Amino acid sequence: MITKTIIITGSHHTPAIELINQLKNDSYHWQINYIGDVFKSETHLTNTIIPDHEINFYQLTSGKFHRRWLPDTIRGIPKTLAALISSFKLVSTIKPDIIISFGGYVSVPIIIAGSLLKIPTITHEQTLTNSLSTKINSLFATKVALSFEEPNQIKQLPSKKVVVTGNLLRSDIFKIASSKYRHLESTIKKYPLIYITGGAQGSSAINQTITKIIPSLSAKYTIIHHCGKLEYDLIKSQLTSMSHYIPTDYVGLDDIGWVLHNADIVISRSGVNTCQEIVALHKKSILIPLPFSQQNEQLLNAQWVKKWLPKTTIIIDQNQLSANTLLESIDQLAKTKSIHPPKTAIANNLVLKLIHELI
């Protein structure tokens, strides 16, 4: 088997992890190197993903590019220059056949280094809007892979470089086994499952609203509440006696497929991965976009879900979020007939195909 070497960089870990899974089953044997910055809230990357997949990990800290506040960008210039020098050293040492970025400012020096060293590079944009890092990367990358065929997004980029590949949804959402939650299978036939999530770290605004209505919800529903690590202990101590209510700090990859597959309603922020998973699985959802998200992307994501699933999607502005509005939305969706998802899921391997074309 032919061995190839790849550098994966960026801060959008979900599509990166799915690509790693695809590379592990590819016709080439891949030596995988991950270059990124790790924050305290993202230790799962180095604690689980990296050791589980036997990946070489390299820490890289770079200055951040701010759209709205130039002084912070200027203050970060020394870090950015240092990261560029470190990137040249790393890329020259690793000697990859290809580099792929999944967004974030940490990816910029790696893509620039790869381009100047004549290595094929891909920058992938998950969302409906182009981040500043994607715009900068597009000037140096060999190809720009987009998740959506959005004309306004495409026209901001070098047209000859753009390839619409779609996003890489985690294959785990299509696996319906779970040792942790399978004991609920008989319960959810009588008390339908509601899955509540505020994203990987949880959402305080959603948590505070949900905890007010758990007593009434738990009388009719089973609730799995992904509340995040910061508020998990407090919420568990307050509501541990509620029947049919299961708080958790995180729903892992071994269980997320079962949870999403069996959820009658999903209540969530509207990050791009969650939104695309909701559409892929045709789930009824209540979406609460994060205010002040970059370029208002979470609202755009929610509107995209509404476009595809108009009868089973409710969007609530966080300023309008209350116990009453949430209860009314749940009652409305509970009366709406579910749309069954496709029986078979087809993995998106277009990014992997693009990699093959460039190496």
Check whether 67 has a pLDDT greater than 70. Answer: no
Do 167 and 276 touch, CB atoms closer than 8 A? Answer: yes
Q: Within a 13 Å sphere around the CA of 163, how many CA atoms are in the beta-carbon half?
A: 19
Radius of gyration over every alpha carbon of the chain, rounded to an integer in angstroms: 21
Q: Where are the domains of the chain?
A: 3-168, 172-334
Note the pTM of the prediction, 2 decimals. Answer: 0.82
CATH class of domain segment(s) 3-168? alpha beta
First to last CA, the chain: 15
- What is the topology classification, in CATH, of domain 172-334? Rossmann fold (3.40.50)
The yes-or-no answer to whether 3-168 and 172-334 have a common fold is yes
Considering Cα of 287, then 257, then 46, then 118, what sign does the dihedral take? negative
Check whether 128 has a pLDDT greater than 80. Answer: yes
* E-only strand ranges, 84-229: 98-101, 121-125, 143-146, 162-164, 193-197, 222-226
Instruction: Give residue 204's pLDDT band: very low, low, confident or very high (50, 70, 90).
Output: confident
Identify the pLDDT of residue 238. Answer: 77
Write out the two tokens for 210. Answer: 């949900």
Q: Which of 330, 138, 346, 173 is nearest to 262 (CA)?
A: 173
Average pLDDT of the segment spanning 243-260: 90
Residue 246's contacts (CB-CB under 8 Å, 6 or more residues apart) are: 181, 184, 222, 223, 224, 225
Check whether 318 has a pLDDT greater than 80. Answer: yes
Average pLDDT of the segment spanning 28-57: 75
Check whether 79 has a pLDDT greater than 90. Answer: no
Average pLDDT of the segment spanning 335-346: 72
Check whether 78 has a pLDDT greater than 60. Answer: yes
What stretch of H or E contains 36?
strand 29-36
